[in-house]
Chain A
């Protein structure tokens, strides 16, 4: 067991981990941050995406001990300080960008990373960027729409409003 320290959602945390403890496991079981979900074991589905030092990564495919000292943001850290939904979160609710909610934390984290890098993405850029996040419920229509809306673009013309 080794000791690992991180800043998670702005708070200093530490814990004892095995070498094989995944970041996702440390977040969920070590810190009780169960918003980060594990949907596969081949690094494909993206339900576990969190931000590490400002970059989106799959927390099921990184060891906690390898990230000692990192700044981590999870879905629990995405709301506004007063508890209201952040811009991306609010757009997902406004445009029905989620159904069962299981892929949603990873989707929101990936979308937020895209918008940080590319504040006005095209539809094609959004779809391409989300290729590492699988949603089985929405058919992606309203997710793509929500991300475009979160970027401040007019989505009124998109079919089925």
Chain B
């Protein structure tokens, strides 16, 4: 690992200031960042830990929304997001217990790993990503592999999830990493159904429009049975071919609808 200075601000304002320094980078739970720093794939000069910012930690209800602070660990979401069970369930199955005690929602979203769990929940829920200076709609936030709408130095302070009528997250494990080989989040709201897929596409998390249309018309597992997913653009690797991931998208969507 390259040498760096670690700073630990107590407020968002201090963190924003610290991140304005040259080659500064934010540190959430570090469960992805620290391993990549060990491989010398990241070389920040200053690492700004967000773990001491109390205003960014916690889960609360705000009207019909569930609001999760950007530095809230997955384990806390799993325990305290009971108002949105599919989301709590998702958080309770990220990585493993020790990872869940450190990894944070903000860190996961800012990294936007194509196989991470949270992006699918944010996209399917139509959540809003709140940063230190603006609000970003889910549909505008994810911009492809490891790329988001965040500007340098911008911090995810909280994420606002509208609570759907019904929802389910179905994750098929990549057996080594315990990330999603493919996973599907289905959310049904008064305005229709949203289906977000992670782990499958070479472009990262995406919405499956055909399924959304079919399920908005008829929210039943067999509503997607006639659909097909184009294997082109799916990830193909040692854990699963493109065709296999395309199949999983469909199977898991059906299972999510049944479980919702």
A residues in contact (CB < 8 Å) with B = 2, 18-20, 22, 41-44, 46, 49, 52, 55-58, 61-63, 65-66, 68, 110, 113-114, 129, 131-133
Q: Pick the contact of A41 from B27, B39, B47, B98 — CB < 8 Å?
A: B39
Residues on A with C-beta less than 8 A from B3 are 18-20
The reply to whether A58 and B98 form a contact with Cβ atoms under 8 Å apart is yes
10 A–B contacts, CB within 8 A, in A order: A20-B1, A55-B75, A57-B102, A58-B99, A61-B102, A62-B102, A63-B47, A110-B98, A132-B98, A133-B96
Also in contact, A61 and B95, with CB within 8 A (given A2-B6, A20-B3, A68-B8): no
Of B30-38, B62-70, B247-255, the stretch lying at the interface with chain A is B30-38
Residues on A with C-beta less than 8 A from B31 are 43, 58, 61
Whether B146 is near chain A, meaning CB under 8 Å from some CB there, is no
Q: Pick the contact of B98 from A42, A57, A68 — CB < 8 Å?
A: A57
Within 8 A of A (CB), among B1-36: 1-6, 8, 27, 30-31, 34-35
* CB-nearest residue of chain A to B75: A55
Residues on B with C-beta less than 8 A from A68 are 8
- C-alpha gap A22/B176 in the complex (Å): 24
Also in contact, A41 and B6, with CB within 8 A (given A61-B102, A66-B51, A113-B97): no
Residues on B with C-beta less than 8 A from A18 are 3
The reply to whether A42 and B35 form a contact with Cβ atoms under 8 Å apart is yes
The reply to whether B97 and A61 form a contact with Cβ atoms under 8 Å apart is no
Also in contact, A62 and B34, with CB within 8 A (given A19-B3, A19-B6, A68-B8): yes
* CB-nearest residue of chain A to B7: A19
- Listed from nearest, the 3 A-B pairs whose CB atoms lie closest are A132-B96, A19-B6, A55-B101
The reply to whether A132 and B34 form a contact with Cβ atoms under 8 Å apart is no
Residues on B with C-beta less than 8 A from A132 are 95-99, 178
The reply to whether B6 and A61 form a contact with Cβ atoms under 8 Å apart is no
Residues on A with C-beta less than 8 A from B27 are 63, 66
The reply to whether A110 and B8 form a contact with Cβ atoms under 8 Å apart is no
Chain A proximity of B96: nearest CB distance (Å): 2
Residues on B with C-beta less than 8 A from A114 are 97
Whether B49 is near chain A, meaning CB under 8 Å from some CB there, is yes
Residues on A with C-beta less than 8 A from B99 are 43, 58, 61, 132
The reply to whether B6 and A56 form a contact with Cβ atoms under 8 Å apart is no
The reply to whether A43 and B97 form a contact with Cβ atoms under 8 Å apart is no
Residues on A with C-beta less than 8 A from B4 are 19-20
Residues on A with C-beta less than 8 A from B101 are 52, 55-57
* CB-nearest residue of chain B to A22: B34
The reply to whether B178 and A131 form a contact with Cβ atoms under 8 Å apart is yes
- C-alpha gap A2/B34 in the complex (Å): 19
Residues on A with C-beta less than 8 A from B47 are 19, 63
**Contacts A62-B34, A62-B102, A63-B49 known; 9 new A-B pairs at CB < 8 A:** A19-B5, A19-B47, A44-B177, A52-B101, A56-B101, A57-B98, A61-B102, A66-B30, A66-B51
